[in-house]
Amino acid sequence: MSVPKFAQIKEFILENIRSGAWQENHRVPSENELSNQFKVSRMTARRALSELTDAGILTRSQGLGTFVASFKSQSSLLEIKNIADEVKARSNHYSCTILVMESISAIAPIAIALGVEVDSHVYRSVIVHNENEQPLQVEERFVNPALAKDYLQQDFHSLTPHEYLSQNAPLTEARHTVEAIMPNQEMCEWLNLYNEEPCLQVIRRTWSSQGIVSFARLVSPGSKYRLGGHLTFKK
Amino acid sequence: MSVPKFAQIKEFILENIRSGAWQENHRVPSENELSNQFKVSRMTARRALSELTDAGILTRSQGLGTFVASFKSQSSLLEIKNIADEVKARSNHYSCTILVMESISAIAPIAIALGVEVDSHVYRSVIVHNENEQPLQVEERFVNPALAKDYLQQDFHSLTPHEYLSQNAPLTEARHTVEAIMPNQEMCEWLNLYNEEPCLQVIRRTWSSQGIVSFARLVSPGSKYRLGGHLTFKK
DNA sequence: CAACTCACCTTGTATATACAAGATAATTAT
DNA sequence: ATAATTATCTTGTATATACAAGGTGAGTTG
């Protein structure tokens, strides 16, 4: 079978939405109507509707019917990719410089972000990620030592901290915020910025089932780095 | 039935992943094994595996089996929400000031971004979105007149441009980029910035089935606005 | 020994059937 | 006329069954 029946029905529905024939909240044919129309079983028609619902394109409610989802409910998304992969994808040379690997005493804001006691010791690393030997991003990371005992013994030239941590303590959740900031003196030196320029700062906290694993601050010059996103009606 | 069987099986699989018992690329039980283990039909076991696969948590391949997806393939996502909704969600007062509503002749970069001829006329609007009467974001938008003829006649106090456009020309695709920039003189005035400060700039292009609908530039002061994101292993 | 065939596992597609449960409209009883 | 019931539509869950098609390994054949 070249193209499965359930896929044909999905395409039929998507085409009606794309053409504008079925606007937001328009009622789409029921499972029974589709199964008669396309001469398939109800389960096959159901599969088409279910998959489009999972994709956020339709909404269903028991007893009422199936409807075209309102665009508002479709969130516009931005992806945060692994920086090493991103550089390599542009077929440029990736390298990194490890500036700091230490165990420090956690001041209040860091202790709170990591969910540990104030003044308990935590690991801290500062790494500069380079694209063709030019600094692209500074990664300052604080790590909960209870969940990654041998963090300071790692060689992060071969494996990024994020890769190491996600292998060690399976990730269950992550939160991000993105801001525009002005870098301080130290950050300017790390990034080789002679003239002050605005930077994009991503703060990322990651959880595993045992608690907060790490807290990272990723800073990139506004002129060299941007985040990209993409939203589409799935085909 | 309190909790459906397929959901119980999903939870069983997720729990094994969350606990770390099943690492990346670990092989999960086959449909037949699960159906024996849980005393359900193969179709029910299959549903659990299929839904987790659609969610990006598992990967399957015919003839081989089903495996825990590698974490790398799970993208970390940031949401861009409707600014009016966001302000109202903080239970603050939303208002907007319409600065410009005009028809202009498209210079090259704008014409290219909109996919129209250079020097053809396009619509332009500049709107300031306020939170409690303080400027929060400037929205400069260029609109393809072929796809939104009466754009200039709209009253954007009641309906945001984005809402109007997505009702008028059904949206099929959107692309974003996020950058950190330094605002120019004009932008500082619009945002009421006395001291220069870095700003977050989102560029958004939206498509409908008939072509590129609009091209928007959203600028917010770094001190007042940030983007938030959230990633989790779906329950 | 190498190459081929075949059995057996896996996932993928499709159907027919059954009953549960939510929503609505028509009917019936009060 | 209003309230309660019923019929009928919808989606949701679950099973048994059938065949297709991809991948692996064991055994057979040359």
Enumerate domains of chain A plus CATH numbers: 5-73 (1.10.10.10), 83-221 (3.40.1410.10)
- Percent of chain A predicted with pLDDT > 70: 97
Name every chain A residue with its beta carbon within 8 A of the beta carbon of B198: 180-182, 198-199, 222
| A229 to B79: CB separation less than 8 angstroms, yes or no | no
Measured distance CA(A177)–CA(A184) in Å, rounded:
19
Q: Name residues 15-44 of chain A within 8 A of B (Cβ).
A: 17-20, 23-24
CB of B9 within 8 A of CB of B45?
A: yes
At B200, the pLDDT band (50, 70, 90 cuts) reads very high
The answer, for A75 touching chain B at a CB cutoff of 8 Å, is yes
- CA neighbor of A100 nearest in space, from A137, A141, A54, A71: A141
The pLDDT value recorded for residue A233 is 66
Q: Which two tokens stand for residue A93?
A: 């040379």
Q: Give DSSP secondary structure letters for B66-83.
A: EEEPPGGGS-EEEEE--H
Q: How far is CA A50 from CA A54, A60, B152, in A?
A: 6, 9, 40
Nearest-CA residue of chain A relative to B178? A227
Q: Give DSSP secondary structure letters for A76-131.
A: EEEEE--HHHHHHHTT--EEEEEEEEEEEEPPHHHHHHHTS-TT-EEEEEEEEEEE
The answer, for B73 touching chain A at a CB cutoff of 8 Å, is no
The pLDDT value recorded for residue B235 is 44
Using a 7 Å cut-off to protein CB atoms, list the covered nucleotides of chain C. 9-18, 20-24
CB of B198 within 8 A of CB of A181?
A: yes
Report the Cα A221 to chain-centroid distance in Å: 20
- CA neighbor of A145 nearest in space, from A176, A177, A101, A175: A101
The answer, for B198 touching chain A at a CB cutoff of 8 Å, is yes
Measured distance CA(B177)–CA(B168) in Å, rounded:
24
pLDDT tens for residues A150-206?
999 999 998 889 888 888 887 888 899 999 999 999 999 999 998 889 999 999 999
In three-state form (DSSP H/G/I as H, E/B as E, the rest C), the secondary structure along A147-216 is HCCCHHHCCCCCCCHHHHHHHHCCEEEEEEEEEEECCCHHHHHHCCCCCCCCEEEEEEEEEECCEEEEEE
3-state DSSP call for residue A49?
helix
pLDDT tens for residues B172-190?
888 999 999 999 999 999 9
The pLDDT value recorded for residue B1 is 56
Give the DSSP H/E element, type plus range, for residue B42.
helix B42-54
A128-148: burial string, b at 16+ Cβ within 10 Å, e else: bbbbeeebbbbbbbbbbbbbb
- Sign (positive or negative) of CA dihedral A97, A211, A81, B27: positive
pLDDT tens for residues A73-89?
677 888 888 898 889 88
Name every chain A residue with its beta carbon within 8 A of the beta carbon of B179: 200, 222, 226-227
Q: Which two tokens stand for residue A86?
A: 């991103």
Measured distance CA(A8)–CA(A48) in Å, rounded:
8
Measured distance CA(B99)–CA(B94) in Å, rounded:
16
Residue B22's φ and ψ, nearest 5 degrees, are: -105, 105
Is A32 within 7 A of strand C by CB distance? no
Nucleotide nearest to B53 (CA to C1'): C11
